[in-house]
């Protein structure tokens, strides 16, 4: 059972831990060719910070198909089959400073780390395994649970209460991500929100959403360690 001063860090993946230079969207683009017989570019929908299921549903609608869970699952399975080679092709890598942060917090007794991501679990495993950081996370809220990111933060709070302490408070949670959707889903549960401009959004764009803290990068890991007082 965790101590009352412990904290939980909920990490986003794309643009926060992983720079994949479009590997995910490219894998989805290839999947649409397989699935529909023609390409529906991910770039044609609002995909930044979106969950894999909401991306799949949006593509099915664009193709004029009924967006059923089953068909979204088939499209996502196809996406996952392309993901490893796309990570290779785009030379995906961990974002500077994040491996040091994960390791630092991993060694800290008062810190727990988990995932809060729009990826499905298998996609998260592939991406984090690719950069060698998949062993740091105690649990995760993934798109398999819901296609709505705000549901995922509520789910992450439930998981914290299941895995860490039955009365785990949102005030002991820090949601770390690179998009306005990460900030919003953290606020929904009353957690602290830490935004980092290493994805597609600038510091100015993220500032408009009023996160608890905002960093340009984690290339100097001490900025986050100092902020958290760890």
Minimal distance in Å, beta carbon 64 to Mg ion? 29
Q: Which is nearer to Mg ion, 12 or 52 (CB)?
A: 12
- For strand 213-215 and strand 192-196, is the pairing parallel, antiparallel, or unpaired? parallel
Give the nearest residue (CB) to Mg ion.
15
Helices marked H in 37-120 = 52-62, 69-89, 98-106
Binding site residues, Mg ion, CB under 5 A: 12, 14-15, 178
Residue with Cβ nearer Mg ion (45 or 164): 45
Local structure of residue 95 (DSSP, 8 states): P
- Sign of the Cα pseudo-torsion (135, 139, 143, 148, in order): negative
- Shortest distance (Å) from residue 73 CB to Mg ion: 22
Q: How far is the CB of 221 from Mg ion (least distance, A)?
A: 19
When the beta carbons of 118 and 221 are compared against Mg ion, the nearer one is 118
- Extract the tokens encoding 92: 């995906």
How many residues in total does the chain contain? Answer: 230
> What is d(CA 2, CA 158) in angstroms, rounded to the nearest whole number?
15
When the beta carbons of 46 and 162 are compared against Mg ion, the nearer one is 46
In the complex, least distance from residue 167 CB atom to Mg ion, rounded to whole angstroms: 29
To Mg ion, the closest distance from the beta carbon of 224 in angstroms equals 16
Nearer to Mg ion, 147 or 164 (CB): 147
Q: Which residues pair with 112 in a beta bridge?
A: 8
Q: How far apart are CA 155 and CA 178, in angstroms?
A: 20
């Amino acid at each position: 059972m965790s101590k009352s001063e412990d904290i939980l860090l909920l990490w986003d993946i794309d643009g926060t831990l992983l720079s994949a230079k479009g590997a995910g969207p490219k894998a989805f683009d290839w999947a649409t060719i397989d699935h529909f017989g023609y390409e529906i570019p991910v770039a044609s929908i609002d995909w930044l910070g979106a969950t894999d299921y909401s991306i799949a549903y949006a593509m099915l609608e664009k193709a004029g198909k009924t967006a059923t869970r089953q068909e979204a699952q088939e499209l996502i399975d196809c996406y996952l089959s392309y993901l490893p080679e796309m990570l290779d092709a785009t030379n995906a890598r961990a974002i500077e400073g994040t491996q040091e942060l994960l390791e630092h917090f991993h060694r800290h007794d008062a810190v727990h780390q988990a995932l809060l991501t729009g990826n499905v679990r298998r996609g998260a495993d592939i991406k984090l395994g690719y950069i060698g950081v998949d062993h740091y996370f105690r649990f995760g809220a993934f798109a398999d649970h819901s296609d709505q990111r705000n549901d995922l933060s509520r789910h992450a709070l439930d998981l914290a209460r299941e895995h860490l302490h039955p009365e785990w408070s949102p005030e002991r949670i820090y949601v770390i991500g690179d998009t306005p959707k990460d900030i919003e889903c953290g606020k929904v549960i009353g957690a602290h929100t830490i935004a980092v401009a290493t994805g597609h959004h600038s510091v100015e764009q993220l500032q408009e959403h009023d996160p608890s803290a905002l960093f340009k990068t984690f290339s100097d890991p001490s900025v986050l360690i100092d902020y958290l007082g760890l």
